[in-house]
Amino acid sequence: MTQVKIGVVGCSGRMGQTLIGAILDQEKAMLSGGTERHDSPHMGQAIRHPVTGIDTGLMVSADAEALFKNSHVVIDFTCPTATVLHTHYAAKHGTIHIAGTTGMTAEDEKALWAAAEKVAVVYAANFSLGVNLLFYLTRKAASMLDEDFDIEILEMHHRHKVDAPSGTALSLGQQAAKGRSVDLDQVADRGRDGITGERRRGDIGFATLRGGNVAGEHTVSFNADDERIELSHKAGDRAIFARGAVKAALWATTQDAGLYNMFDVLGLPGE
């Protein structure tokens, strides 16, 4: 395989355009197409490099199944409903599926597991190398610091983000919970308003900020009496997520069927 044919569903949004640029800039990959919803104003428009404006000779389509059929890999940063549908196309056509959609429920994720029985699926809340290192460090720190250290997770994103807390923040919470050997659902505190009472020992708290065009900022703080440890990552541009997704796409072409994450792609110690 000289070049990996990579398609993008949801190709006209901010992340979709960034993904197209990352694919076109990667010499080992070629863009196989891009899709949008049938009612998108971008339907039928030429797909161009988002920076150089070079015409790829491809047009925005509404036929996601055809894209899966004609691609080695499809990258999917859309919405849970669409991603679940796309998993069926991936399994049907043997197409590698790179899923970066956030807000997926446990029921939604079952579709990814089902597709992974037939094809490689890489599913991650965040495709940045730095963020995945932050996941690892958060779990490690939580395993070493007992409940005398209160864990709080703060995230900020652009004003257009529709889900909260972010998928990355929730994944950080999962890593902290794993480090403590507890169930996140039992210790998560995702909203404080009014007279909330004293903070429960062992809880993992979440706080959300929205505004401007912030690509993504996450901080995990471990707070004990008289000292605080903070682990932070700040994304300057969503291009870091696109580059990570393309890296995952190329990596997955050498893997057997299965459900993978960015720890696998980057060779970090397993979750």
233 is catalytic: no
Of residues 251, 208, 238, the one with CA closest to residue 96: 251
- DSSP H or E run through 59: strand 55-61
161 is catalytic: yes
CA pair distance 126, 135, nearest whole angstrom: 10
Instruction: Give the strand pairing for 227-235 and 216-224.
Output: antiparallel
Which of 157, 218, 233, 247 does the annotation list as catalytic? 157
Is the Cβ–Cβ distance between 160 and 185 less than 8 Å?
no
Is the Cβ–Cβ distance between 134 and 230 less than 8 Å?
no
Which of 49, 93, 140, 161 does the annotation list as catalytic? 161
Distant-in-sequence, close-in-space partners of 256: CB < 8 Å, separation ≥ 6: 120
- Kindly list the catalytic residues: 157, 161
